[in-house]
Amino acid sequence: MATASASVLPLKELDFYQVDDLLDPEERMVRDSVRSFIEERVMPVVPHHWEAGTFPSELIPEFGELGLLGPAVSEEYGGSGLNSVAYGLICQEIERADSGVRSFASVQGSLVMYPIEAFGSEEQKRYWLPKLATGEAVGCFGLTEPDFGSNPGGMRTRARRDGDDWILHGQKMWITNGTVADVSIVWARDENGKIQGFLVENDREGFSAPEQKHKWSLRCSVTSELVMDEVRVPESNRLPKVQGLKSALSCLTSARYGIAWGAVGAAQACFDEVIRYCSDRQIYDKPLGSFQITQTKLANMGTEITKGQLLVWRLGRMKDQGIMRPQHVSMAKRNNVRMALDVARECRTLLGANGITLEYQAGRHACNLETVLTYEGTEEIHGLILGHEFTGYAAYGA
């Protein structure tokens, strides 16, 4: 079994521009507490789970107890009511361990608890949010379909009225947490062409969620299909405040915000690991870090990570001031995930052959980040969103 010997050392975080000084004391305390938890409880088990292709479900209650599930949800419903920067720091610390583990938390918080709080009835909020906050219940978010990823508006899943109930029929794909979820947020088009959101308990007749196996990325995270064969749900399961596709997309803005922060954590983990390696590893009787090529690689990576840190810090402050727009999130998600992927790959080259083993983190992070580059709006789509923003021309279609 692989061990995490190289990854459980305390982090010496790169903070070249003293971003720490820009955080308030509570934000730092949140970051430090989550960091301790991740270092002590999560990092030691991640390589094994990644190799086995299993999610560390034994940690779910601890995630709940610490408050990592839906931390931005209001205290009234079981959340902690944290600000956006603190939420971002949580994502950063979790993804320092693994993008798949962060995906679990992002889905639960941003894609399940957020829409229930934003679009749900009081009854739905009171029933589901406390359970989801403790981890007693797990949720998933069904928007993407086999043929509709970047263009979710083309979805084929249908909802039709039948008396007081709705009948859901269709298929979803690439759904994080699907197989282990107790409840799915399913997006479907009704008979009037309007997109609606439904809470579907996963034990309803006609509902199944087979796991998608054979991934070489996000192996610590469960990815599933959702198959709905004439699944009957009552009207009380419909999210009453949903206003079409834009409501579904607003959930993605919240999740992408966390991803932009998370990517910084993955990059820092790789950088921290490789800095140690460059000091210990001797080549031609000299430390690897003393060679010019190594130094310029580290200079480039350190610079990009620092830029990424500043980007998300500013994004978080804008979100808390209410002036953040989805386009701002697109820039941070696109930039930081690409940055983290490049850093992970470059660190792998410095680690040499060691870098392809699970004893080191860089290879695992690089594999994970290939998914993160594509999900929650591909790098290309976010480029088009920014192109639209800067030129006024929309270039999404054919």
Partner 1 sequence: MKICVCVKRVPATTTRVVIGADKQLDPAGVEFELNPYDEFAVEQALQVKESGGEGSVTAISFGLADAKKELQKVLAMGADNAVLLTHNSAPHADGATTAKMLAEELRNTEAQLIFFGKQAVDRDQHGVGPAVATRLGIPCITEVVKFELQGNQVICEREIEGGRETVTAPLPCAITCQKGLNEPRFASLKGIMAAKKKPLEIKEVDLESAAVEVIDMSLPPERPAGRIIGEGPDAVPELIEALRNEAKVL
Residues identified as active-site: 376
Q: Which of residues 41-70 bind partner 1 (CB under 8 A)?
A: 65-68
What phi and psi values does residue 249 have, to the nearest 5 degrees?
-70, -30
**What 3-state class would DSSP assign to 287?**
strand
Q: Work out whether strand 195-201 and strand 183-190 pair parallel, antiparallel, or are unpaired.
A: antiparallel
Residue with tokens 């990644």: 50
Does the footprint of partner 1 cover residue 77 (CB under 8 A)? no
User: Are the CB atoms for 274 and 267 separated by under 8 Å?
Assistant: no
135 near partner 1, judged by CB under 8 A:
no
Instruction: Specify the residue, 25 or 392, whose C-beta has the smaller distance to partner 1.
Output: 25
117 vs 304 by CB, closer to partner 1: 117
Q: Which of 26, 76, 136, 380 binds partner 1 (CB under 8 A)?
A: 26
* Contact call for residue 278 and partner 1 (CB under 8 A): no
- CB of 65 or CB of 230, closer to partner 1: 65
From the list 2, 22, 33, 130, which residue makes contact with partner 1 (rule: CB under 8 A)?
33
Q: Which residues, in sequence order, are CB contacts of 276 under 8 Å at separation 6+? A: 6, 9
What sections of the chain are H helices per DSSP?
A: 25-37, 46-52, 60-66, 84-97, 99-106, 114-119, 122-134, 245-280, 292-321, 326-351, 362-374, 379-391
In whole angstroms, the minimum distance from the beta carbon of 51 to partner 1 comes to 27
Could you give the CA distance from residue 18 to residue 356 in angstroms, rounded to a whole number? Answer: 32
Which of 71, 139, 316, 355: binder of partner 1 (CB under 8 A)? 71
Smallest distance from partner 1 to CB 9, Å: 9
Near partner 1 by CB under 8 A: residue from 80, 144, 224, 253: 80
Closest of 381, 372, 364 to residue 336, by C-alpha? 372
Q: How far is the CB of 26 from partner 1 (least distance, A)?
A: 6
Closest to 166 measured CA to CA, from 144, 185, 191: 191
Q: Answer yes or no: are the C-beta atoms of 241 and 196 closer than 8 Å.
A: no
73 binds partner 1 (CB under 8 A): no
Residue 387 is which amino acid? Answer: G
Q: Which of the stretches 23-31, 46-54, 271-279, 283-291 binds partner 1 when contact is defined by CB under 8 A?
A: 23-31
Applying CB under 8 A, does 279 fall inside the site for partner 1? no
222 φ, ψ to 5°? -85, 125
Does residue 285 come out as left (phi exceeding 0), alpha (psi in the -120 to 50 range) or beta? Answer: left
Query: Does 290 interact with partner 1 (rule: CB under 8 A)?
Result: no
Output the smallest distance, CB 76 to partner 1, in A: 12
Whole-number Cα distances in Å, 395 to 118, 144, 252, 380, 381:
30, 21, 20, 11, 9
Binding mask 358-387 for partner 1 (x = CB under 8 A): ------------------------------
Give min distance, CB of 92 to partner 1, in A. 14
Which part of the chain contacts partner 1 (CB under 8 A), choosing from 33-41, 107-115, 124-132, 332-340?
33-41
Q: Per CB under 8 A, does 193 bind partner 1?
A: no
> Could you tell me if 92 and 34 are in contact, meaning their C-beta atoms sit under 8 angstroms apart?
no
Residue 355 is a binding residue for partner 1 (CB under 8 A): no
Could you give the count of Cα atoms lying within 13 Å of 282 in the half-sphere of its Cβ?
3
Closer residue to partner 1, CB minimum distance, 30 or 113: 30
Q: Kindly state the smallest distance separating residue 285's Cβ from partner 1, in Å.
A: 13
CB of 48 to partner 1, least distance (A): 21
Residues engaged in binding partner 1 (CB under 8 A): 10, 12, 25-26, 29-30, 33-34, 36-37, 65-68, 71, 75, 80-82, 86, 90
